[in-house]
Amino acid sequence: MAVIFIQTLPFFMIIALGYGAGRSGFFTPEATAWLTKFVFYFALSAMLLRFSANLSVREVFDLPFVLAYLCGSGVIYVLATVVAILRGTRAEEAAVEAQCAVIGNVGFLGIPMLAMLMGEAAIPAVMMVLAVDLIVFGALIVIVITGTRDGRMRPAVLGTVGLGLLKNPMIVSIVVGLTLASLRLPIPGPVNEFLIILGDAATPGALFAIGASLAGKSAERPYVAGWLSFCKLVLHPAAVAVAALLVFDVPSYMAAVMIAAASLPVAGNVYMLAQHYGIAPQRVSTSILISTVLAAVTVSLVIGWVQPLY
């Protein structure tokens, strides 16, 4: 377990470095926003495009895997929603809290860290987790919030959700890469080198941006954020483990990657949604802060726990 912790420590050290730079004012919120945009639209997209171009659709879509992750995540999503409603929160706030409980930082933290710690063979599984998060749960929260506010479900909402997915560079990169792989079109040498160089900036850039963005987070309802962090860091990987290993019999290595991905802290894009719709953004930011700090220990524990599976 200590070995795993030491292996994960450099990732969280870069996050801490970014936090220090942001907290001291050396790295301004504007600089953080631009760095995040660079990583999101360029570096991470280049990494995903290169990875997916060397895969096949069969590798990136495994029905038992997807069902296991959906069911495990769905249980925690419902649990967080029910607890929120029992506390007397509005339906749209409950939807945001449920999102915190199941959506991890797979893009910025999971892809680079798990590929390095568990091998590049982990990439198809991580991509499936990312796709489910973006397509299923990303669409679900928009539908719930919009439907709650309007009092009914409008067809235009589905168009908005679809357009949002088409504009997401991670989805576009994966689709383009898989298309190239399906057509057996190799990436030309200079282009491949370009993608490698640009993609290599994704890991340090993303981790630094996570830390710098945390510097601007303020606390609100820490007891709720603590509960949501517990859901994300402990209950979510536990539920996914039960679904993958006991219900759907997912191959052990793929199950290990899925469980490790489920153990990641709350994703920053949940805050973006909360901020956009004006629904409990401070509560979400506190959840991101608490879960990311605790993840330095809990992610190591989970990866150490699943290590015998691979």
Q: What is the mean pLDDT of the chain?
A: 87
**pLDDT of the residue at 1:** 64
What is the CATH topology of the domain spanning 2-309?
Answer: Na+/H+ antiporter like fold (1.20.1530)
Look up the pTM and report it: 0.85
218 vs 273, higher pLDDT: 273
Q: SS3 for 227-279, per residue?
A: HHHHHHHHHHHHHHHHHHHHHCCCCHHHHHHHHHHHCCCECHHHHHHHHHHCC
Residue 79, pLDDT > 60, answer yes
Q: SS3 for 67-115, per residue?
A: HHHHHHHHHHHHHHHHHHHHCCCCHHHHHHHHHHHHCECHHHHHHHHHH
- At 263, is the pLDDT very low, low, confident or very high (cuts 50, 70, 90)? very high
8 A C-beta contact, residue 171 and residue 15: no
**pLDDT of the residue at 294:** 94
pLDDT tens by residue, 22-71: 999 999 999 988 998 898 889 988 988 988 888 777 777 889 999 999 99
8 A C-beta contact, residue 229 and residue 197: no
pLDDT tens by residue, 232-257: 999 999 999 999 999 998 999 999 99
In sequence order, the 6+-apart residues with CB closer than 8 A to the CB of 8 are 113, 117, 296, 299, 300, 303
**pLDDT of the residue at 295:** 93
Residue 208's nearest CA partner among 105, 114, 100, 108 is 108
Residue 231, pLDDT > 70, answer yes
Residue 160, pLDDT > 70, answer no
274 vs 256, higher pLDDT: 256
Q: How many CB atoms lie within 10 A of CB 214?
A: 21
